[in-house]
Structure 1
Amino acid sequence: MCTPKSFEQTPASDAAVSPGTAPDLDLVLASQSPARASVLNASGIRFRTIVSGVDEDAALAAAEAERGDPLSPEQTALVLARAKAEAVAALPETRGSFVLGCDSVFEFEGEPYGKPHEPDVAFSRIRRMSGSTGILHTGHWLVDRSETEQAGHESSGAGRIRSAEVTFDVMSDEEITAYVATGEPLEVAGSFTIEGYGAAFIAGIRGESHTVLGLSVNALKDLLEERGRHIAELWRPNT
């Protein structure tokens, strides 16, 4: 794992919580994804960001070696989400906080599609996906460094997988070339987004839309409830 790369704090003006909720619940997002930050901001969630810098290939290789079998797309998403959360949770500046790691993997015809990085890879994948349906899996891992650790116990974690079907419109080679040229699909799971240029080619989504954006707020709510906390403790005031 690499040393976490950056540290950001949401504005202090957003630090208040709803009446009757605990004022000290702190959420750290272990991701540099603008889409995930946008989901939390749009949902009224207070959080700060610390990028994990995890070596994803090493984390996956270690997980496969431990299991003795290749990882499924769902397992891949959860392994990477856990690796990111645990890397950031190991930092002293997250003591007393909840740390959320997320990762997304697109499954198409049984194959996992991560970030293509290269234009020719993105073009080939999108051409295959044109007019078809795939599944976007998003893994969530929440590490609790709050009350449990303060009581002298080790931090604990739990995970959730959320999945949604994505159907693509039929795309011409010219459209695919133009989309790849924007650079948008190169660093996102599955070589597409639904909040940018790629929105023009999404014919339908079956499932929770936030899952396709890389972070399910409903999953976060469930994970917090397992620790006896409530999502409302993270809400910004409605001003």
Structure 2
Amino acid sequence: MSQLVLASASPARLAVLRAAGVSPLVRVSGVDEDAVTEKLGPDADPAHVVTVLAEAKAAEIVPGLRADGLDDVVVVGCDSMLLIDGTLQGKPNSVDVARKRWAKMAGRSATLLTGHSVLRVLDGQIVRAVSEHSATVVHFANPSTEDLEAYLATGEPLQVAGAFTLDSLGGWFVERIEGDPSSVIGIGLPLLRTLLERVGVSVSQLWRSQSVL
């Protein structure tokens, strides 16, 4: 029975999968996201960018799987970015950048794009590969200066796409969404289920491997 491997260091993605009855192995990819994005060029379609990044992350960990003794594996890679005013925004990485992002986002809506890549790997070889993206519209609140500065001081928005979370402190400042909430957290369960089926793995198989059923 296939072992699910998450090619991500994101605790939020891991939490979504665990809450859905699956405890994947975690292998963190070393993909240089900026280099991949730069290679695609400034005119690349935003949905294509997040999908290619997800594909790169998934593929990067494959060579190490055989060394771990894993011969039937499904690798999942994801990448999320916020699209606002035609520009993709990833992790701000600093308070100043996050503050500027929120100055643009507050009281407005933007689209959270999440690329998903699923690889079926048998005996170290990729035998099936599928990828797709999801898009969810996020409507942001207009937090007070005091609340925003307190939020920035927690450090949470610095390391997440778009400088906000839905499932943690940032959820206070999201008015509503149009689309899949799990995708906004970083891994869309409806889309992932579809992609898994396309590589020959069902959700119930994963549940059985975790003794959920």
TM, length-normalised to structure 1: 0.82
How far apart are 1:198 and its partner, in Å?
Answer: 0.7
**Highest CA radius of gyration, 1 or 2?**
1
Q: Which moved more, 1:91-100 or 1:112-121?
A: 91-100
Q: Does 1:128 align with 2:104?
A: yes
User: Which sits farther off after the overlay, 177-186 or 93-102?
Assistant: 93-102
**1:49 pairs with 2:50:** no
* Contact 2:130/2:199 (<8 A) preserved: no
After TM superposition, list the pairs within 5 Å mapping 1:23-172 onto structure 2: 24-64=1-41, 70-91=43-64, 92=66, 93=68, 94-146=70-122, 154-172=126-144
The amino acid that maps onto 1:78 is: T
Paired with 1:177 and 1:88, the residues of 2 have a C-alpha distance of 38
Which whole-Å deviations, capped at 9, do the CAs of 1:60-93 have from their partners, x for residues lacking one? 23333xxxx6223212211110010000112223
Which residue pairs with 1:181 in the alignment? 153
Q: Structure 2: which 5+ runs fail to align?
A: none
1:205 aligns with 2:177: yes
Counterparts of 2:143 and 2:48 in 1: how far apart (Å)? 30
Q: CA deviation at 1:223?
A: 1.0
1:231 and 2:207 correspond: no
Indicate the SS of the match to 1:166. strand
Alpha-carbon RMSD? 1.7
Secondary structure in 2 matching 1:155:
strand
Q: 1:191 to 1:154 in 2, by over 3 A?
A: closer
Any conservation in 2 of the 1:138–1:215 contact (CA below 8 Å)?
yes
Query: In structure 2, what is the equivalent of residue 10 of structure 1?
Result: none
For 1:206 and 1:187, the matched residues in 2 are separated by 23
Residues 195 and 81 (structure 1), Cα distance of their counterparts in 2 relative to 1, 3 Å cut = same
**Structure 1 position 154, deviation (Å):** 4.7
1:3 maps to which residue? none
Give structure 1 stretches of 5+ with no counterpart. 1-23
Offset of residue 107 of structure 1? 0.6
Moved more, 135-144 or 226-235: 226-235
Q: Which amino acid aligns with 1:112?
A: L
With 87-96 and 31-40 compared, the bigger mean Cα shift is at 87-96
Separation in 1, partners of 2:211, 2:116: 26
2:48 counterpart letter in structure 1: Q
Identity among equivalent positions (%) equals: 37
Task: Decide whether aligned partners of structure 1 residues 124 and 145 sit closer, same or farther in structure 2, where only a CA change above 3 A counts.
Answer: same
1:9 maps to none
- Counterpart contact for 1:127–1:173, Cα < 8 Å: no
Q: Distance in 2 between matches of 1:222 and 1:169?
A: 32
Label 1:61 to 1:143 Cα distance change in 2 as closer, same or farther (>3 A). Answer: same
Question: CA–CA distance in 1 between the matches of 2:25 and 2:159?
Answer: 22
Q: Deviations over 1:135-160 (max 9, x none)?
A: 101100011113xx68xx75331101
Residues 31-76 of structure 1 deviation map (CA, whole Å, 9 limit, x = unaligned): 0000000000000013110001211112223333xxxx62232122
